Amino acid sequence: MSDIERRVKEVVVRTLDVDPGRVTENAHFVRDLGATSIQSIELVAAFEEEFDIEMEEDKAREVQTVGEAVEFIAQYVPKD
């Protein structure tokens, strides 16, 4: 598991207050993890804070699964 993936999953668990076992790569934020529209906004803000990035809001809203979030955030995080 990559560092980005691990941190994304930690943010999802904290923000949505879900069991870590439910946060899989294919888990859909709304259908599988029960995210409300407010929690979706909170997730974007939490990802931005965790990774010290600023994501494009319209594109961030298109992200539906944990795996998509990892790929999306990887575009913004500087490579080591």
Q: pLDDT value at position 80?
A: 61
Residue with structure tokens 């965790």?
Answer: 50
Q: Residue 38 belongs to what domain range?
A: 3-74
Around Cβ 7, how many Cβ atoms within 10 Å?
A: 17
Per the CB < 8 A criterion, the answer to whether 4 and 12 are in contact is no
Around Cβ 45, how many Cβ atoms within 10 Å?
A: 14
In a domain, 80, yes or no: no
Domain count of the fold of the chain: 1
Q: pLDDT value at position 79?
A: 73
The CATH number covering residue 20 comes to 1.10.1200.10
Q: pLDDT value at position 36?
A: 96
Where the chain has pLDDT below 70, the residues are: 80
Q: pLDDT value at position 15?
A: 97
List C-alpha distances in Å: 78 to 2, 28, 31, 63. Answer: 14, 26, 31, 20
Per the CB < 8 A criterion, the answer to whether 33 and 22 are in contact is yes
